[in-house]
Structure 1
Amino acid sequence: MWNSFLATGHIINIGHDVFKENRKLADKNRESLKKSGVFSVNIMGAIGSGKTTLIEEAIKALGEKYKVAAIAGDVIADMDAARFEKLGVKTIPANTGKECHLDAHIVSDLLKKNDLNGYDILFIENVGNLICPTDFDLGEDMKIVVVSVSEGDDIVLKHPVIFKTSDLAIINKIDIAEAVGVDPATMVRDAKSLNENIPILLTSKKQEETVAEWVKTIENAMLEKKGANQ
């Protein structure tokens, strides 16, 4: 149970363990997605980090070979969902209202309302935030954190938990690194100091080879997961 301490030292019960309940639902989501044959990717990052653009590029490339769907998480707006819809993929808006993250309950409701049988990949764009999403497993196969050089080269060390718990880190917009006075190598070094085993990609929409590497990373992870489930 969650408890709160008053100045007097007394304990007040303020509710059940939401994290425990979230983990239970996440496990159910994971099993549901597995049965549907869907490889799911939870993409986290601050507003402006480039999450939406990276997902768009992956949809463009992988949508030619696989059946792709996307959940677009946001507090209120549906602009990101509209961008995915323009690419012709099944798009599921997920407005959280006041919440700064998606959780397993939201994803569970969306999965119940949307049949993903026969789909290969589900991109889940989390709400723009580097803190809240770390506490809420969605039932995804892969967690990815995206940061941009425009956020400063200290952004990684300011948010250690998300780098410690992610399966892949992306340092984005490297084409403007010199202009904003940031060294991507510092960000790589900081990420490795928090999680020495985390794979790291340096990306820029303007550098096609980096986009291709990003797409290939997702495809390889999907194929590896599907092969392990067979």
Structure 2
Amino acid sequence: MGNIKVETKILTKNEQKAKYLRMLFKENNILVLNFLSSPGSGKTSLLESILPILKEKYNVGVIEGDLATENDAERIRKIGVTCYQINTHGACHLESSGIEKALSSFSLKELNILIIENVGNLVCPAEFDLGEDYKIALISTTEGEDKPIKYPTVIRNSSALIINKTDLIPVLDFDVEKCKAYARGINSSLEIFETSCKTKSGIDNVINWIEEKYYEKTGLCRS
């Protein structure tokens, strides 16, 4: 019973902070996306594909979450995008208090889109609200098409699913349609995208979805 009380207290504190962040992001017309995946699925590679295009039209910031190193943050900075690194030193997820601290590195009045790349893990990050507008789950074809039913919580809590590394399908035993069916069986409203960071296939579809969500939130007219 003690562990349950502690976990409940942690989640409640996180949710209170997330509620404040959501209000702050709304006041400043900032679209916030929380990317979740297991390690090596290609989150950072995906950001390297979409950020050069997004930054030409929007002020974009990134928060990187990892147990250690600034390797991924350095990759993002090379694109010319402001990136704040959070090292969790063993924790398997980001929390809203860490996101609040990271915001001091950005000008909220100028920021249009904030992307959070969560720690590589499909379990804990699915439970923690960071004040984001949308959670986006990413799986790769190297992980098997049954990933959605193995980790249903992240699928249930996400608004979009990206099936990445589709260029490898010819040499893998991966059934895309079965993967989609598994995911939609858990979350019927899920938007699903197929991408390859190597060939850039499907990248434009992800960017278009992000832009749509930005204009939906801000109420601005899309040019």
- TM tier, shorter chain? over 0.9
Q: Which segments of 5 or more consecutive residues in structure 1 lack a partner in the other structure?
A: 6-11
The yes-or-no answer on 1:83 pairing with 2:75 is yes
How many Å separate the matches in 1 of 2:84 and 2:164?
25
Change (3 A) 1:147 1:216: same
The alignment partner of 2:202 has SS state of helix
Q: Which stretch has the larger CA shift, 94-103 or 13-22?
A: 13-22
Structure 2 match to 1:4: 2
Q: Provide the C-alpha distance between the structure 2 equivalents of 1:57 and 1:31, rounded to a whole number of angstroms.
A: 30
1:142 maps to 2:140? no
Pick the aligned partner of 1:27 from 19, 31, 49: 19
Matched, 1:225 2:208: no
Q: Which amino acid aligns with 2:161?
A: A
Displacement of 1:205: 1.7
**SS of the counterpart of 2:90?**
coil
Distance 2:204 2:112 in 1: 19
Give the number of aligned pairs: 220
The 3-state SS of whatever aligns with 1:19 is helix
Q: Give the deviation of 1:112 after TM superposition.
A: 4.0
Looking at structure 1, the residues matched to 151 and 160 of structure 2 have their Cα atoms a distance apart, in angstroms, of 15
**Which residue number corresponds to residue 167 of structure 1?**
159
CA distance in 2, matches of 1:13, 1:206: 46
Which residue number corresponds to residue 204 of structure 2?
Answer: 212
> How has the CA–CA distance of structure 1 residues 13 and 49 changed in structure 2, closer, same or farther, with 3 Å as cutoff?
closer
Comparing 130-139 with 30-39, greater Cα deviation is found at: 30-39
The equivalent residue for 1:189 is 181
Other structure's SS at 2:58 match: coil
Distance 2:28 2:148 in 1: 35
Match of 2:57 in 1: 65
Stretches of 4+ aligned residues off by more than 4 angstroms: 12-16
Deviation (angstroms), 1:116: 2.4
TM-score w.r.t. the length of structure 2 is: 0.93
User: Structure 2: where are the runs of 5+ without partners?
Assistant: none
Deviation at 1:206, TM superposition (A): 3.4
- Quote the RMSD (CA, aligned, Å): 1.8
d(CA) in 1 for partners of 2:21, 2:7: 24
Query: What is the match of residue 46 of structure 2?
Result: 54
Distance 1:164 1:14 in 2: 24
Corresponding residue of 1:101: 93
**TM-score for both structures, normalised by structure 1:** 0.90
- Structure 1 residue matching 2:2: 3-state secondary structure: strand
> 1:212 & 1:186 partners in 2: Cα distance?
24
